[in-house]
Amino acid sequence: MFDLKDMEKIVKMIADAGDSSLVLTVEIYDDNWMKDALIGKVDIDLKDLVSRPATPWKQYFDLDTQGRVGLTLNYLTCFHGMCRITLVECRNLTNPDLFGKPDPYVYMTVKGNKKKTQRTKTLKDGGLDFSLNREIFNFWIDEDAFFNGLQCDVWDDDTGRDDLIGSVTIDLFQYAALATTDLEPPRDRVYPLRKGGEFVACVEFFPCVNLQIVVFEGKGLRNPNMIGKTFDPYLLFESESLCNYKGGGGLKLRSKTDNDGSKTPDWKEQELYGLLCDHKEMVVTCYDDDVGKDDFIGVFKLNLVELYKEGSLDRWWELKSKNGKKSCGEVKVKFTVKTARGVSLDVERKLGYPVGRELRGVGGEGFEDDVIVPYTLRGYGVKGRVYEKPVPARRAGASSSKKFLTTVSGV
């Protein structure tokens, strides 16, 4: 498996190269104890494969010496988005202490990125089989996380140095990759832990939509300066994500400054681009670009659920004071969201995509029922197995090493 990040560069390279484009070289060796011997190799042009994502290419290729090799190639497009993990329970763990019950907690991190780290509270005397009460954690997923995975470690909270009880790395590529087939709803899965025991969780992925902002002009803006009639306005666009850690999907975009634009700035249809996923509100603030601290002019809030429904909103937006009582002028801004899948909505319906029929936000308080539906890929690198049968609840007084706490079933 290899990663192609800069698709614009690859497409341009293919166009410039003409017939010779992106080439994959496959070499077959004889594994010898001294030096491996090359049996044969073949060069495969991937131009057609890249142009048709998620379509398997099965073919025999002639080696440069003799014989053929049969390969199945599949190009999957990954998307940024939010990964939601629901912690269900841990069971059959190995006790790291000689005496007493451990005090477990779960520590989660995207491998290779210490900023993307979260943990549960410590369960005092939680033992070796304990429920995690379906606690939910959100992680922002980008190209750095596609192949690193989400590492989940179960620790025993001790005085001094904590003891590792068990760990597992959950493959995130399967959730971020586009597929036209084998889509299934999220399910509770059982992940075997290194050092013994099992970790039960449900992993979901909410893919992003592309956001385009076109900044036109303003009129009647409030002058924030006590002295002077000219000022330099610009717009700041901000939206928070459910991922509650630094760099966790928060959106922040800034328009250019219209020097001496004053009450009637003209931003000349400047275009800004970003990604939206679980964001439900955008705060747009107009500032005067000053030396030192910028002066506040006015603000308006955009309900992103309305944008997800309509697809595009193009209008004059009224700026308000900080208390929302006074008008501070108007700005003309166009917001547009488009599915990141690169195919029409009609095609998505036919292929059964759970996202893109209506561009919606993640469900929650104040949201409608018809929202973006998460998905996983069936049978592609899934480390955890789906637990179809109910797990018997532990009886009072029963040994914690044999009975379980909760019921895990397929959704």
pLDDT tens string 236-245? 999 988 776 6
Q: Say whether both 214 and 335 belong to one domain.
A: yes
Select the more confidently predicted residue: 245 or 125. Answer: 125
pLDDT at 350: 36
Mean pLDDT in residue range 21-36: 86
Q: Is residue 129 part of a domain?
A: yes
Q: Categorize the per-residue pLDDT at 396 as very low, low, confident or very high, splitting at 50, 70 and 90.
A: very low
Q: Is the pLDDT of residue 275 over 50?
A: yes
Structure tokens at 98: 């000689």
Q: Say whether both 203 and 218 belong to one domain.
A: no
Q: Say whether both 218 and 125 belong to one domain.
A: no
Q: Say whether both 50 and 98 belong to one domain.
A: no
Q: Phi then psi for 305, rounded to 5 degrees?
A: -60, -40
pLDDT at 6: 55
Q: Is residue 294 part of a domain?
A: yes
Mean pLDDT in residue range 63-75: 85
Q: Say whether both 243 and 200 belong to one domain.
A: no
Q: Is residue 334 part of a domain?
A: yes
Q: Say whether both 86 and 126 belong to one domain.
A: yes
99: which residues sit within 8 A by CB, 6+ positions away? none
Q: Is the pLDDT of residue 343 over 70?
A: no
Q: Is the pLDDT of residue 305 over 90?
A: no
- Among 32, 48, 73, give the residue marking a domain's end: 73
Q: Which domain holds residue 256?
A: 209-339
Q: Is residue 367 part of a domain?
A: no
Q: What is the CATH number of the domain that holds 188?
A: 2.60.40.150
pLDDT at 178: 54
pLDDT at 347: 36
Q: Say whether both 48 and 87 belong to one domain.
A: no
Q: What is the 3-state secondary structure (H, E, C) of the chain?
A: CCCCCCHHHHHHHHHHHCCCCCEEEEEEEECCCCCCEEEEEEEEECHHHHCCCCCCEEEEEECCCCCEEEEEECCCCECCEEEEEEEEEEECCCCCCCCCCCCEEEEEEECCCCCCEEECCCCCCCCCCEEEEEEEEEEEECCCCCCCCEEEEEEECCCCCCEEEEEEEECCHHHHECCCCCEECCCEEEEECECCCEEEEEEEEEECEEEEEEEEEEECCCCCCCCCCCCCEEEEEEECCCCCCCCCCCEEEECCCCCCCCCCCEEEEEEEEEEECCCCEEEEEEEECCCCCCEEEEEEEEEHHHHHHHCEEEEEEEEECCCCCCEEEEEEEEEEEEECCCCCHHHHHHHCCCCCCCCCCCCCCCCCCCCCCCCEECCCCCCCEECCCCCCECCCCCCCCCCECCCCCCC
Q: Say whether both 252 and 196 belong to one domain.
A: no
Q: Say whether both 167 and 200 belong to one domain.
A: yes
Is the Cβ–Cβ distance between 78 and 177 less than 8 Å? yes
Q: Say whether both 180 and 235 belong to one domain.
A: no
Q: Phi then psi for 271, rounded to 5 degrees?
A: -105, 135
Q: Cβ of 371: how many Cβ atoms within 10 Å?
A: 18
- What is the total count of domains within the chain? 3
Q: Cβ of 96: how many Cβ atoms within 10 Å?
A: 17
Is the Cβ–Cβ distance between 232 and 260 less than 8 Å? yes
Q: Say whether both 182 and 224 belong to one domain.
A: no
Q: How far is CA 171 from the centre of its chain?
A: 13
pLDDT at 321: 94
User: 372-388, pLDDT tens digit by residue?
Assistant: 333 333 322 234 555 55
Q: Say whether both 277 and 243 belong to one domain.
A: yes
Q: Is residue 391 part of a domain?
A: no
Q: Is residue 175 part of a domain?
A: yes
Q: Categorize the per-residue pLDDT at 9 as very low, low, confident or very high, splitting at 50, 70 and 90.
A: low
The predicted model scores a pTM of 0.67
Q: Is residue 55 part of a domain?
A: yes
Q: Is residue 279 part of a domain?
A: yes
pLDDT at 387: 53
pLDDT at 124: 92
Q: Categorize the per-residue pLDDT at 51 as very low, low, confident or very high, splitting at 50, 70 and 90.
A: low
Spatial distance between the Cα atoms of 8 and 325, rounded to a whole number of angstroms:
47
